Structures are given as C-alpha cells and as structure tokens.
Amino acid sequence: MGKGKLALDFTGRVVAITGASSGIGAATARMFSQLGACVALIDRDEKRLLNVMKDCFDIGYEPYALSADLLKTEEIECAAKKIRARFGCCDVLVNGAGIMPMSTLEKTSLDCLDLVFDANVRSMFYLTQQLLPEIISCCGCIVNVSSVCGIRAFPNLVAYNMSKAAVDHFTRSLALDLGPQGIRVNAVNPGVIRTNLLRTGGMGEEQYKELMERSKTTHALCRVGEPEEVASCICFLASPLASFITGVTMPVDGGKQVMCPY
C-alpha cells in the first residue's frame, strides 16, 4: 500500500459479487462502488440487478451486470468466462448468493435439501473454482457470506444450518490450501439482517414482523442488523486492513451467537 493511499481504496480493483440484486449483496455492491471498485454484479433477478447497477453507476463508477442462474453449471461457467474476458482478473470474489427455506427434518424433502446445497454450497464452490486462476494471478482474496447458522444451529432450518456449516468449512479449507499463494479467504456470519431472505424462504409477513420484534431479545445489541453493516465487514476483510486475516468466520450478528438460548 503506497504512502498516503487509503486502505479502503479499491480504485481499479475488480470485485465480483454474487447475489448482487438485493439485500447484503446489493449493499456490498454499492459500498465497493463508493470505494472505487469495478464491480461485476451477478444474479438471476435481472430486473433488480439492473436497479442495483444503476445505483452503482450513479455513484460514479461503471458496473458490469451479469444475469446468471448459479444453479446451472453452464451459467456459472459463462459468468466466469465473461468476467475473464472483460477484466482479465478478479481482485475480490464475494460469494453472496443463497436461499433460506424453513423446514424441519420431517418436512424437508431430498429435493429441497439438494436445492439448498446447490444454491448455497455447490454454486459457491464452482464459481470460486472457475475464477481461481484470475484471483491467483492478481493475489486477490475471497469473502464468503455464511450465517450465524453456520456457527450455531437454529430450529426449523435444518438444511440451511447444514449448508452454512459447509460454507464455513469451505472457507477454512480454502484458507489452508491457498494461503501459501498469498490468497486470503474469509467469511462473514450475519445474524438476523433486514432483508427479504426470510420472506423468500417462505416466512409470511406476520411471522416476519414477529421475528423482527423478537430479535430485539435474541441479539445482544437488542436489534436486527442492516445490510450495510454486513457490507462494511466484507469490505474490511477484502482490504489491506485485513492483510493478516485468513480462515476467519466472522460473526456480524449483534451478539446473537453468544446469546443463550437461541
């Protein structure tokens, strides 16, 4: 880092973000744009993705939007190929895409389990694998979006809990494998964040309101988090300020994982 250069200055650096059309992914895209990055936005919701792209463009930096369904192998390959062709490198990969269906073991079908692992684990694994040569070529870094559910299990989320535990171990495994090449790999583990993830996972509006209220008692800070609070941690982990941090699964959860009971 040159003299006088801000540690959170990402000017000219390429940041690829999955799940970029909403929630934590969208907030992360906007924040990296504010910090000068060239952001590659990846999501299957093209309409929302274009809205986030416009936000990033209005900040003053030209984003690159890629409509891709990460459940499909060929679309992962296509997204990686397009990033490679346009930028030739990838300084930061933020694996933020995921789903959160709510169900117990008795009510979770094998199809549902497969879907959760395809969306939350397999897609992350394969996109990272596809972009790894570009990440290595510029000594980049990887930040995975996990969950407090990767650290502690919560009821009615059996498949999601399992998938996020896998994300945490994926993070640690890559940190060990890629550390000798100078590649840092970390994860953030959000608590309850004010996004649409729970609603898209099947939670009704009344249930959602009840959870938001109940979360005042299940987080040490007595409130839920905002997407920007997770995004700021992602940017920190991707920055030179975290140059000696790897293999970390960092709770960004308002103290939820230290609360007992759940």
Report, as ranges of residue numbers, the positions in the chain whose pLDDT lies below 70.
1-6, 60, 201, 262
Task: Tell me what the pLDDT averaged over the chain comes to.
Answer: 94
Q: What does the alpha-carbon distance between residue 99 and residue 228 come to, in Å, rounded to a whole number? A: 19
The per-residue pLDDT for 7 is: 76
Q: What is the domain count for the chain?
A: 1
In a domain, 132, yes or no: yes
In a domain, 122, yes or no: yes
The per-residue pLDDT for 5 is: 53
In a domain, 259, yes or no: no
In a domain, 8, yes or no: no
The per-residue pLDDT for 4 is: 46
Instruction: Determine if the pTM surpasses 0.75.
Output: yes
Whole-angstrom CA distances from 188 to 30, 171, 197 are 18, 10, 16
- Give the pLDDT confidence of 242-260 residue by residue, as tens digits: 999 999 999 999 999 999 7
In a domain, 78, yes or no: yes
Instruction: Give yes or no: 262 in active site.
Output: no
Whole-angstrom CA distances from 172 to 82, 117, 220 are 28, 18, 27
In a domain, 6, yes or no: no
| Angle made by CA atoms 83, 164, 40, in degrees to the nearest 5 | 15
Helix (H) or strand (E) holding 54: helix 46-59
Residues 6+ apart with CB under 8 A from 103: 112, 156, 157, 158, 159
The per-residue pLDDT for 2 is: 44
The per-residue pLDDT for 218 is: 92
CATH number, domain containing residue 98: 3.40.50.720
> Which is catalytic among the residues 64, 160, 208, 262?
160
In a domain, 40, yes or no: yes
Range of the domain at 106: 14-253
The per-residue pLDDT for 252 is: 97
In a domain, 168, yes or no: yes
